[in-house]
Structure 1
């Protein structure tokens, strides 16, 4: 048996051979260069750009978020419901998140939509808008109705002092009583002066419809009104409230001043309707203070009064009066016939002196005191209203207010 000689200096030693066994053998790798890692096999790949070691969650559906917001705010319930339903479909198809938000938004939107339909069906929207208009400005009409009696904080019915009113029972003392309401027309605010003039004209014209018997109005009661302001006009406020109130500072009204078809009997209404025919004609007196300044105008006025007297007397005779009132009313009708003849002559006067002569006779026949007997028989007020300082036969032509019957 021979033994191989040891390796010489120029013969490298061969690789180590491990003993053979039944275990698997792994390949040998040459020594890596200095500073380099050996290429050991690994079950993982090194991280590179575009790869994340964590799983990215699915995005939240944007329509689901919008549906939730609109549903909670209840501002556009119909839109919120539609967005929620569309979002649920997108979530199923795309695998997105936000299902809970879409469902919640749809539910709240459905509730809001149902409430909106209920409000519109019951008129709640109109009530809400009316409330907005009432709160816009202190000088608005304050939502008063015909027949309301009320108090103001300071007892005032004019200027900017009226900021609020409290409706009270008319049997109690009160600051004012509403006898009419109406709406002004127009889109643009016409100005404070124009609004005030329109309110004055209409309110005085509507007075007789609520208080048919002018004699029943106390001498210190006058007409006031609440009108829209420029601010409330922009919110649709057009209502004017016509009000009775005392001209005496600090004095209140007592009891209702209403006397119309709801409080008067048939005989009283017939008498007052006939009286209004004459009073309306008397109210058309010319603006000129003296007849000499406008003789044609006063002649025309006298003609209108004569015509009205004829109608008044005919109406009084045509009605079937209560036996106690029949004779006084017929006597009054006879006086009206005499007065009509004098007014007709005044209408034909060719000069101021002739006009005055017939006017004075006619005015004496229309003295309000001559109607007291008929009024007493009918149960109407018997104290004539105070005149305006002119009066019949004053030489100025008169305004007619002192001759109200």
Structure 2
């Protein structure tokens, strides 16, 4: 054993000391990787779109960082804190209804910038005073003053992909015209220059979940507007007025169901079926009037109107059985002459309803008198328009 070495060859200073790698052995001393969940947590925390997910990812990231020796502790902590704050804000919005308000704002913004979504019975103005084309910045105003439009109904379209401009406006046109009488039951009280318009979803607002169609009354006159509310329904009228108008609407609906755009010679079966509907409606209207106990001052005028309806029913029933176009015209003409709107004036006066019949143009039966109630919808004859 050489001199100077301790016995057994032991190093007198002990084994050599090595500094262990903090992150595991790496011959090139590469830095430890950053935990991916920590990054995701921070991103979701900043965006605040799904704060619950960001919080969970941050907590999971902290556990993995400690276990694997990865970097990203600050990212995970920051993401967890931001996500926790976001989660608290979402809970507050849900509790106060703020989420609903926020989503409504998103839809209104997508609907080409309209600032409000007016409800039934509300009135509004548009910046240019026009209800045609695309409307921006609708402002709600009192119905007592002048305004561009009055909302009388709204409904939702079905889901699925955007069906296109044509199908959307066609659905709006059909449904809105069918809903107008529920809001303005007395068609005589609606000015002749008033027609139906509608607010419809755009392709952009449809993608944001907007499916609402808003039905609106507006003026067809150049530069025209409305003054005062057109609402006359159960919330405004008394029970006797409502009962009379409901009976009158039975005949109105039958008269408006005339074949569209075809002469009797081209569609005799269709016109005969229409005459049959009018005859049945006349009988139903008379039955509804007889089945009610009217106030003393109304009974006499109602009895006279009932007799007029009975007389008019016979020629319409005959037209429904016509052998040819000439026979139909003969019976139809006689029946039409017996449907004079002026017959309803005494009843309306007794009930306190409008007594001036709306002006009517045209040549088919639906544009004549209607057994004493001259046509639903106020006689507005303008083209149907989309807002």
> Is TM more than 0.5 here?
yes
Q: CA deviation at 1:358?
A: 2.2
Q: Which moved more, 1:329-338 or 1:229-238?
A: 229-238
CA deviation string 1:144-200 (max 9, x = no partner)? 21111000101100113x112101010011011111111222422222222222221
Any residues of structure 2 matched to 1:354-393 within 5 Å, and which? 354-390=327-363
Return the match for 1:402 from 349, 358, 368: 368
Distance, in Å, in 2 between the alignment partners of 1:308 and 1:78 is 62
Pair member with larger Rg: 1
Any residues of structure 2 matched to 1:86-125 within 5 Å, and which? 86=60, 89=63, 103=77, 105-125=79-99
Aligned to 2:8: none
Aligned to 2:323: 350
Q: CA deviation at 1:104?
A: 5.0
Q: Which moved more, 1:167-176 or 1:88-97?
A: 88-97
Structure 1 gaps of 5+ residues are 1-42, 44-49, 391-397
Q: Which moved more, 1:340-349 or 1:255-264?
A: 340-349
Any residues of structure 2 matched to 1:206-245 within 5 Å, and which? 206-245=179-218
Distance, in Å, in 2 between the alignment partners of 1:379 and 1:150 is 29
CA deviation string 1:95-150 (max 9, x = no partner)? 88876765554333322222223334544333322211211142879522111100
Aligned to 1:292: 265
Distance, in Å, in 2 between the alignment partners of 1:139 and 1:208 is 30
Structure 2 gaps of 5+ residues are 1-12, 14-19, 22-28, 374-387
Q: CA deviation at 1:250?
A: 1.1
Seen in structure 2, the aligned counterparts of structure 1 residues 100 and 284 have a Cα distance that, compared at 3 Å, is: closer
1:141–1:240 contact (8 Å) kept in structure 2: no
Distance, in Å, in 2 between the alignment partners of 1:303 and 1:74 is 65
Return the match for 2:221 from 248, 263, 266: 248
Return the match for 2:288 from 307, 315, 330: 315
SS of the counterpart of 1:177?
strand
SS of the counterpart of 1:293?
coil
Any residues of structure 2 matched to 1:247-266 within 5 Å, and which? 247-266=220-239
SS of the counterpart of 2:90?
helix
Q: Is 1:143 the counterpart of 2:109 in the alignment?
A: no
SS of the counterpart of 1:228?
coil
Seen in structure 2, the aligned counterparts of structure 1 residues 312 and 95 have a Cα distance that, compared at 3 Å, is: closer
Seen in structure 2, the aligned counterparts of structure 1 residues 301 and 255 have a Cα distance that, compared at 3 Å, is: same
2:116–2:139 contact (8 Å) kept in structure 1: no
SS of the counterpart of 1:388?
coil
Aligned to 1:195: 168
CA deviation string 1:222-273 (max 9, x = no partner)? 1111211222222222211111111111111010001111100011000000
Seen in structure 2, the aligned counterparts of structure 1 residues 73 and 240 have a Cα distance that, compared at 3 Å, is: closer
Aligned to 2:9: none
Q: CA RMSD in A?
A: 3.1
Q: Which moved more, 1:242-251 or 1:149-158?
A: 242-251
Distance, in Å, in 1 between the alignment partners of 2:39 and 2:320 is 85
Considering Cα pairs closer than 8 Å and 6+ residues apart, tell me whether 1 or 2 has the greater RCO. Answer: 2
Q: CA deviation at 1:65?
A: 6.5
Aligned to 1:156: 130
Aligned residues: 346
1:285–1:400 contact (8 Å) kept in structure 2: yes
Q: CA deviation at 1:80?
A: 3.8
Any residues of structure 2 matched to 1:34-183 within 5 Å, and which? 62=35, 67=41, 70-86=44-60, 89=63, 103=77, 105-138=79-112, 143-160=117-134, 162-183=135-156
Return the match for 1:332 from 277, 281, 305: 305
Return the match for 2:277 from 293, 296, 304: 304
